[in-house]
Structures are given as structure tokens and as C-alpha cells.
Structure 1
Amino acid sequence: NQVLDIKANQPRAAAMREAAHTRAAAFTWEQISNVLLEKVKFVAQLNGAMPQQAMYDAAQVRDILIVTIVHQPRRLRLPAEPLPLYAPPETLTQAIFDDALNEKYFRQAAAASYYPAIAQFRALLDHGFKFAIGFSASFLEQAQRWDEELLDRFSDLAQHENVELVAVEPTRSVVALWDIHRFVAQMRRAADRMEALFGTRPTIADTTGLVMSDVVYHALDQAGFKASFVDGRSQLLDWRQPTHVYHHDGGQMKLLTRHLNLSEDISARFSDRSWSEWPLLADRYADWLAGNSGQLVVLGWDFETFGERHPVESGIFDFLAALPGEVHKRGLSFVTPSEAVARYGDDSCDLPLPVTVQGLQDAFLGNKAQQTTFQLMMQAYGKALLTGDNALVDISLWLAQLDNLYLLAGNGRAAAESPTAFVPQEWRTLGNEGIAIETHQIYHNFIAALDSCVTPHHPDNMNKKDSQCHEQPNTKDCSLIANEKPTGKIGGRT
């Protein structure tokens, strides 16, 4: 009936057609996108995934949170050395890791970075500057062996009221991907060590490579950590912004999201003369920080950024000295992680996390050599567990340090394109392919060496005590390396 009425009333029909054309012309793709975003925002607020205030409001960030990690790896001994059969863990450790190389590069970093950067950070702390700091176990052990004075200076820095300690996975390994219980034990061990050394127990976590998943989140939450840092990559955040505090799946622990671009402007690009923004001064960088909307900007830098990755002549220390003043001029403040949680935790937004770990990007698993090493890491760890020997498990955890993946990032690239800043000078004659081959051989040798503790010929080995695993059996076992004459050592190319 309505159709017949309109057909009979031609002026009304003409007016309706005109109104439809006008409405259609105004309904652009931009308008469609805006309507869709408004509906998504409404549903998110209704389900508690977003606070009632608009997530994309124009409010300027109020705070800057800086976290820095002090780390020196346990470098491998390349080329790979044969491993003696039935050797105790101490002997295996000496053959696998290169103490002389570690000491050389530790002392270089201490002179170029640690001492001057400590002095620079310490001078800023009494003027409203705040930051968080964490230490790997390998750095702490090297400092205790080779420079107690440096450790004392770091201790003085870490105990300042404007500095907060962060718990770092001790070996900087990727064990969270294989053994969540071991990972939690490692994080608790890190907190214990920080408390013993510096008198304060950290409640903020920093995972290796900032990896995160549903399981890692809940493990850290159950372990009592108040917050953990994550990398603000689009693969994890999707449409969300890194300038907000998050939580996951009803958990209490907060997620502090590192701003990837603004962090790497300093850590990776600061001294790159081919960068379009070079030279970067503190005032312009502070403008970039202040130009963000949200709650806070989280900046994550390796401590070695200052003086080692970017030498003093790059202006990095002048930049750091000027940054707090420029930040304060723009009405921003520095906060520690705990202060950020206290200020923004009640308004945190839900962040869905994947079942699989996110964080190991192309820099760590981007080529075949890295992927092979990753598989060997898992095999070494699993076989070490079967020995029941804690010392061998400890070696496998050090073999699982992320550095051993990162140092293979140049494999498959032309020499001119290969990142060499972190590759020891002593390795470079091997070339990218040679470094990968020798690295893999270390893992093969270690895995084969574990046969002296786990072998089908000795089913009772699982019940042996640690020290018994390294006793040579009464009968000579020549089957440890197939098709190779028994020499008393393991080291054939596989």
C-alpha cells in the first residue's frame, strides 16, 4: 500500500529520491570507518575492554617511563672445540664458553659505556629524572670477577630513590618457550639475587626479548609480579596504542608497552648519518614524546646504548644530559614502573594475548641458521633435563641465551648488508656461514656429550647423582659418535 501511495503522489516520490541522493553522497568511506570505530568502541566499553573515557581522546601523555637493561653475554668459543668424553660440567663449560673473549669485551664496555653512563645517569637523578634498571646474571657474574668497583657504582645507582629495579631472566634465555615452570623459577631467582645484592626485591619483570603470551602472562601474574614490559609491535597490539597500560584476561599484573619507534630512534638510529632525522637533538625528541596522546610513553634501551653502541663523539651523552630539561619544559614527568602502575593501573585496558609467544621477530628467527640454532637449543635443554644433573641443565640454559640467535642475524646476507656491530672481531674471519656452522657444532658436541649420562645402555642413569654422571663406565662405549673412531673426545662435524 505504501508503494502505491508513493506512486500516486509524484511530488512526494521526487522529494524522497532527492533526499536519498543527498544522503548517499554524504556517506563516504571515511564516514563508514568512523561509524564502525564508534561501534567497536561502544562494544569494548560495554565489555570492560576499554575504560569509559575514549581511548583515542586527544589528551597528551603525562609521563615518560625509561627502562634500561645491563647485559653482557657468555660468548661461545669459536671455532667449536671437541668435548672430552665423561667430562665434568666445569670442563665442558671451559670448552664451550670463551672467558678471555668475555673479559675483553666486558672491559671495553666498562670503559666506553658503563662508567661514563653511570656518572651521567647519577647526575640527573637529583633533578627529577627517574628510570628503571635490570641486570642479567652474566653481567653480574662478570662484574664480580673482573670489576668489583663497577658493581659498587651500579649498586649506588640502583639504590637511589628515583631508580627502580627490574627482574631480568638471569641467562637471557628463551626457556619461557619450552618450560614455563623453569621460567618462573628463573624469574624468582633473579628477584632473589637483586634483593641480595641491592637490598630491594623487584616486582617488575622484563622477559628475554620482551616475549609475551597468555601462558607467560599468567605465570608472571601468579609469581606475584606487579607488571611486565612488552614490546609495542603491531602484531601484538593490533589497533591499540602503546601509550596505555594494559592487563590480560582478568589478571592483576599490568603490561607496560615499550614504544618501538621512539625507543629505536635512540637505541638503533641515533648515530646513523644516513637517517633522515640525523642529527637528533633533545628538544626535537622531546617534541616527539609530547606529541603522543594517551597516558605515558615507555622507552626501553640497552644500557650499552650509551657509549658503546653510540660512542661519546656521536653526542649521545650530551643528548641524555639535555633530555630531562626538555621533557620538563613540555609539561611531562618521569615515572618509575611502580608509579606508572599506581597512577594508571585502575584504568588499564584488556589486551588479548596469543597462545604462542610473541616477541621473537625477524632479528632472532629470520633465517635458517637461526631457526636451526633454536631447534638445537631445545634439544640441548631437553637432553640436559634427562641427565638429572643441575650443572648440565645450567649449561643448556646459557646455550639458550638470545644472543646466540641474534649473532646469526647476518646469515644469508651479503657481507656489506650483514649487521656486525655485536659480532666479536675474533669471529669475523669465519664469515657469516662459518659462524653459523661452528655455532651449530657447539650444540651438536654438547648434545652428544650428554650421552655419557643418558644412554640406552645405562637405563639407571636417571637415578644417578650429579657427580656420578661424569664417571667413565667400566665398559668402553664406542657408539657415542656413529661412524667415527673412538678418540676420547666428541667433535666430529655433523
Structure 2
Amino acid sequence: MSAICFYFQIHQPFRLRPYRFFDIGRNHDYYDETTNPAIIKKIAEKCYLPANEIIHNLICRHNGNFKVSFSISGSALDQFERYAPEILTSFQKLVDTGCVELLAETYAHSLASVASKKEFRRQVSQHVGKIYNIFGQHPKVFRNTELIYNDAVAHQVADMGFNGILTEGADSILAHKSPNYVYLAHTPSELKVLLKNYKLSDDIAFRFSDQSWNQWPLSADKYVHWLNRLPEQHHVINLFMDYETFGEHQWADSGIFNFLQELPEQILSSSGFSFVHPSEALNKFEPIDILSVPHTISWADEARDLSAWLGNSLQCDAFESLYKLKKKVRRCENPEILRDWQYLQASDHFYYMSTKDFADGQVHNYFNPYPSPYLAFINYMNVLSDFEVRLNKCLRTKARLIKHKQLIENLLRDEKRSLEASVKV
């Protein structure tokens, strides 16, 4: 029997406030404390709370036969705790049903996997700890920021002890293969790979309310008809999308919530599909082939590579300027600097600097709080300049403290030797 695997991504960055050149060295408040809570509360009302209620009701109505999975970034969880704790309560209620699996990712939804092995491992470990502390689950499956993946990433994820990883079912890596199977990663380990079926996922996430689409309007009946036309030997249909699809990207008046309510009923009653968690899919189905991905892929833009974040000189300059500080940061023990280092790594900051046109550009502009990518770059670099000033000051202070400590230790040692010599006399 084939299965449906629903995975929803949840991430919210700490958006930066307008930060002027003249703020550098004077003002260390980087985050927009008006916009950030307002956005969290707006999306909670439009998406998180109503969608969670629908999913909870579906789980109860179908006696646990409806299952979903989530990956919630650490920065999103931090904002839920700070601005809208009712969101966390709602997700805890979902997890308590036993029908929700939580996945691991980078804490700050960062690009650390392509920048620093140590930072990547540190962020993943921190995220796993956060998930366990809030929800009592220890993630077994990993999904990298924006489904970024290559053979090297797979190797690192396997070394961290995960059973499987999610990524994009990009045509460039599949050739004529189907994404509807479990694959084995190209590593020495037994790490398994689940691939997003981007056509069926994007029919919901991007095309649902598009009245120019030749399949509009999309109903649950029509969608299940498409599923039933798939070859019976296919193992698992991975439907991966942003959770904000429901109510935020696709507004309530588009009928998206009715679709969410009706789809599980139609699948369970009118098809041979069941619902599985990612870890269940990995255990239930044997890999059919080894998947080698030497070049980095993601689920972003038509190119499905890293160009959404590192596609121009602005983005590369900001990215390199950030990660050249990593060795200094590792020597710093200031909790506020470590917090800012984490939040400044969010991939969103580089996404805002994209200069892409056409369809990709429209998507970037939809999520961009800045009037232009150049202003995004200037604002970010101003903040990063101040961060570096603080970091260097912290390290100088630490060096002085270490030197002072060594001086005291030397004095105490000399005094001890002097006393021991006087006793002998």
C-alpha cells in the first residue's frame, strides 16, 4: 500500500530594524520589536492556530490514521515563547496526540551546512535540545534549511546519528527516476532520503488560489483522483510545504482550510493510501537505489540550488563577512553576542538581497520587508559591523581577564613558594 507523508516547515526570522551607519558602535538593538511580534501574532491568527485546530480535529476524527510532521526552527520557537505562547500550547496539544512527528534542523534556519561543519553540528544539536525540552520528542529525521542537500551534507547528517533526511525531488538529480520512493544517501552509512514531490506539493502551496491555472479550482476530489492515477508500485508521496500555505500564503477565502479539512477524509475513504510520518516511511519501505548528489540542491526558486541566497555579489559578500567571524565567536562566551551570532545567520537575511527577476523575483519580493535588495544589504552590513565591534571588544575584555587571572595565579604561586621556603629555613 502506498503512503502519503505530509511535512510542514515553520520558520520565522528575527527581522532587523532599520539600522543606520551612525548606529554602529552606539546602538546594539538590532531587531524590530514592533514588526516581529506583530507578524507572529498575525500569522498565529491567520494560520497556526486555525490550522492546528483543524489538524487536531482530523487526528481525533480519524482515530490516529491521519498523521503529519513539522520542522519548527529555533528562532520561530523563541518568538512563540516571547510573543505568543498560545502557539506553543497549540503545537504541544498536537504533539500529545502521538500523530505528529517533529524533525530536526538548524536552530536559526541558517546556511551553516555549506559554511562550517562545526557551526552546523552545534546548531543542529541545539535545535534537538530545544525540541526535546518543549515537546519531549527526540527527532530521528533531519531536514536542512530550505531542503538544502548534497552528498557532503548527507555525510554530516549521518554522522550526527539521524536515520533519514528530507530534500527536494529535483529533476536534476532524479533524471527519469520518480521521487515517490525511498532512496539511500551516497554515504558510508545507511542514511535514507525522502524526496519532495514538487508538482503535487506546489499544486497546493503555490497554485491553489491561482485562477489562471487550468486546474483551478482545486478540490479534494480532484486531488485524490490525481493520487489514484499514480502507479501502484510507488511507495510514498511526499507532500512538503510551508505551513503558512494555510491561511497566510493561501488566504482563508480561497477555500484552503476547507481543502485541508476534506483531503484526509477523501484519501482515507477513496484511495488505497495511508498517512505516515517520515520515520515510518523510512522503516516501512526499502530504498530502491543510491542517490548521488554532488552539487547542492534546495527547494527554492526554479533553479533549486543556492542561488536564492548566494546568487549575487551582495549575498556572497555578506555571507563571507559573517562566517569569517566564526573563529572569534567560538572564543566568545557572552550570551548576547552568541544569541545575535545565531540570529544573524538566518538564511532570510541573504534571501532579501536577491536580485532575481521574473517569477523568482516575485516570490522574493513577496517575502522581502525591504524596498530593494541593496537596502537589505546595507542594513545587514551595518548591523554586522556593529556586531564585529562588540565581538572584538568582548575578546579584548576576555584577554585582559585571562591575563589578570594569570597574573594573580603567578603571584599566589610565588607567595606559596616563598612561604614554603621560609618554613624550611
The TM-score range, normalised by the shorter chain, is: 0.7 to 0.9
Supply the AA of the counterpart residue of 1:338: S
Supply the AA of the counterpart residue of 1:465: K
Specify the alignment match of 2:102 in structure 1: 165
Could you tell me how far 1:202 is from its partner in structure 2?
A: 0.9
Could you tell me how far 1:234 is from its partner in structure 2?
A: 1.0
Asked if 1:385 is matched to 2:327, the reply is: yes
Match 2:135 to one of 198, 207, 224: 198
Q: How many Å separate the matches in 2 of 1:421 and 1:324?
A: 30
Count of aligned pairs between the two proteins: 389
Contact 1:68 1:132 in 2 (8 A): yes
Q: How many Å separate the matches in 2 of 1:370 and 1:122?
A: 43
Specify the alignment match of 1:12 in structure 2: none
SS of aligned partner of 2:138:
coil
Asked if 1:228 is matched to 2:132, the reply is: no
Match 1:449 to one of 386, 390, 398: 386
Distance 1:465 1:295, change over 3 A: same
Q: Report which stretch shifted further, 410-419 or 374-383.
A: 410-419
Alignment of 1:398-477 (within 5 A): 398-409=343-354, 420-424=365-369, 427=370, 431=371, 435-449=372-386, 452=389, 465=398
Specify the alignment match of 1:77 in structure 2: 17
Over the aligned positions, Cα root-mean-square deviation in angstroms equals 2.9
SS of aligned partner of 1:298:
strand
Specify the alignment match of 1:107 in structure 2: 41
Match 1:145 to one of 82, 95, 120: 82
Specify the alignment match of 2:405 in structure 1: none
Match 1:189 to one of 126, 129, 152: 126
Distance 1:291 1:180, change over 3 A: farther
Distance 1:421 1:447, change over 3 A: closer
Q: How many Å separate the matches in 2 of 1:414 and 1:234?
A: 19
Distance 1:442 1:256, change over 3 A: same
Distance 1:413 1:276, change over 3 A: closer
Q: How many Å separate the matches in 2 of 1:462 and 1:419?
A: 37
Q: How many Å separate the matches in 2 of 1:360 and 1:321?
A: 26
Specify the alignment match of 1:375 in structure 2: 317
Q: Deviations over 1:416-467 (max 9, x none)?
A: 957543234xx4xxx3xxx322221133324433554677xx9xx8675399
Specify the alignment match of 1:284 in structure 2: 222
Could you tell me how far 1:173 is from its partner in structure 2?
A: 0.8
Contact 1:243 1:296 in 2 (8 A): yes
Contact 2:4 2:273 in 1 (8 A): yes
Q: How many Å separate the matches in 1 of 2:123 and 2:93?
A: 25
Q: Deviations over 1:42-71 (max 9, x none)?
A: xxxxxxxxxxxxxxxxxxx61000011222
Q: Which runs of 5+ in 2 are unaligned?
A: 403-425
Supply the AA of the counterpart residue of 2:54: Q
Could you tell me how far 1:241 is from its partner in structure 2?
A: 1.1
Q: How many Å separate the matches in 2 of 1:183 and 1:217?
A: 12
Q: How many Å separate the matches in 2 of 1:179 and 1:296?
A: 33
Could you tell me how far 1:409 is from its partner in structure 2?
A: 4.5
Q: Deviations over 1:254-309 (max 9, x none)?
A: 11111111111111111111111110001111122232231110001111111111
Alignment of 1:20-419 (within 5 A): 62-78=2-18, 80=20, 82-85=22-25, 92=28, 94=29, 96-126=30-60, 127=62, 128-249=65-186, 250-293=188-231, 294-328=234-268, 329-344=270-285, 346-354=286-294, 356-359=295-298, 361-362=300-301, 365=307, 370-387=312-329, 388-389=331-332, 391-392=336-337, 394-409=339-354
Supply the AA of the counterpart residue of 1:373: Q
Supply the AA of the counterpart residue of 1:104: A
Q: Report which stretch shifted further, 114-123 or 67-76.
A: 67-76
Distance 1:466 1:255, change over 3 A: farther
Could you tell me how far 1:99 is from its partner in structure 2?
A: 2.0
Q: Report which stretch shifted further, 333-342 or 435-444.
A: 435-444
Specify the alignment match of 1:44 in structure 2: none
Q: How many Å separate the matches in 2 of 1:362 and 1:70?
A: 18
SS of aligned partner of 1:257:
strand
Q: How many Å separate the matches in 2 of 1:212 and 1:366?
A: 14
Q: How many Å separate the matches in 2 of 1:468 and 1:370?
A: 42
Q: Deviations over 1:189-246 (max 9, x none)?
A: 1111111111111111110010111111011111111111010011222332100101
SS of aligned partner of 1:189:
helix
Q: How many Å separate the matches in 2 of 1:69 and 1:230?
A: 12
Distance 1:374 1:99, change over 3 A: farther
Q: How many Å separate the matches in 1 of 2:332 and 2:105?
A: 24
Contact 2:192 2:282 in 1 (8 A): yes
Contact 2:167 2:196 in 1 (8 A): yes
Supply the AA of the counterpart residue of 2:332: D
Identical positions, percent: 27
